[in-house]
Amino acid sequence: MDDYLTDEQTVFDVEDVNKIIKDTLETVIGENSYKHSRVNQWSTNVVEQCLLRLSKLGKPYKYIVNCFIMQKNGAGQQTATSCFWDNSSDGSCMVKWEKDSMYVQVSVFGLAI
Amino acid sequence: MEEYSSGDDGNFNSDEISILVKECIEGVIGGTDYNQNKINQWTASIVEHSLTHLVKLGRPFKYIVNCSVMQKSGAGLHTANSCYWDTTTDGSCTVRWENRTMYCVVSVFAVAM
């Protein structure tokens, strides 16, 4: 049993990450409406705070956090992602958040070290 | 000089990846206009072709390729990325492309195995 690794260490926990992203979005953007002058600051804060909280989980993972904010004005938009990694240990979590004036999408990718 | 390592094998070469991705984008949507019916297929093709070419390079990296296509209609769009990894070996590259009717942003993240 020397090789046994606990599940908590090497499995990407989608629920935990989901919760972290949602909390961060509520804290940074909350009930605000889309404002061009503040969007830059919001997207930066969202990715930085998510990353900080993810690193505090203390798991042996590298993380990539992506935040996408788009004003609602009828434009069409499509996103696609593809990954080349180890399916047993790596994972991702995507949170879509819709408000009256904007769409926000945050993706977190975790890759086991 | 024994510590000198060539840019090719252990490190992420941003310029080369940028050229590769631009060619993939041109190959899929070069010369087309934004089309709601085809956009799903286009974004999927861009990420798949890019990933296939990256894997063919045969380097010891895990990859994440993310593609966003947005119709040009005056809406504001903001994207931010933040990464928690080994800055000596890992890297990313973002390619922005546009034509008369749409914007395309492709991000490639490479994490050393």
In a domain, B2, yes or no: no
What are the DSSP calls for A25-60, one per residue?
A: HHHHTTTPPP-HHHHHHHHHHHHHHHHHHHHHT--S
- What phi and psi values does residue B26 have, to the nearest 5 degrees? -55, -40
Q: What is the pLDDT of residue B62?
A: 93
pLDDT, tens only, A31-64: 899 888 999 999 999 999 999 999 999 999 999 9
Structural domain of residue A105, as residue ranges? 8-112
Q: What is the CATH number of the domain that holds A18?
A: 3.30.1140.40
Interface predicted TM-score (ipTM) of this complex, two decimals: 0.78
Q: What is the CATH number of the domain that holds B68?
A: 3.30.1140.40
Give me the count of residues in chain B. Answer: 113
With b for 16 or more beta-carbon neighbours within 10 A and e for fewer, the A21-52 pattern comes to beebbeebbeeeebeeeebeebbebbbbbbbe
In a domain, B59, yes or no: yes
In a domain, A2, yes or no: no
* Interchain CB distance below 8 Å, A68 and B85: no
Q: How far apart are CA A70 and CA B70, in angstroms?
A: 10
Within 8 A of A81 by CB-CB distance, chain B residues are 47, 64-67
Are the C-beta atoms of A107 and B71 separated by less than 8 Å? no
* Interchain CB distance below 8 Å, A78 and B78: no
* Interchain CB distance below 8 Å, B46 and A75: no
Query: By CA distance, what is A63's nearest residue in B?
Result: B84
Within 8 A of A65 by CB-CB distance, chain B residues are 81-83
Flag whether the pTM goes above 0.80.
Answer: yes
pLDDT, tens only, B71-101: 988 888 888 888 999 999 999 999 999 999 9
Q: How far apart are CA B45 and CA B41, in angstroms?
A: 6
In a domain, A41, yes or no: yes
Q: What is the pLDDT of residue A24?
A: 93
Structural domain of residue B106, as residue ranges? 14-112
Within 8 A of A56 by CB-CB distance, chain B residues are none
- Tell me how many domains chain B contains: 1
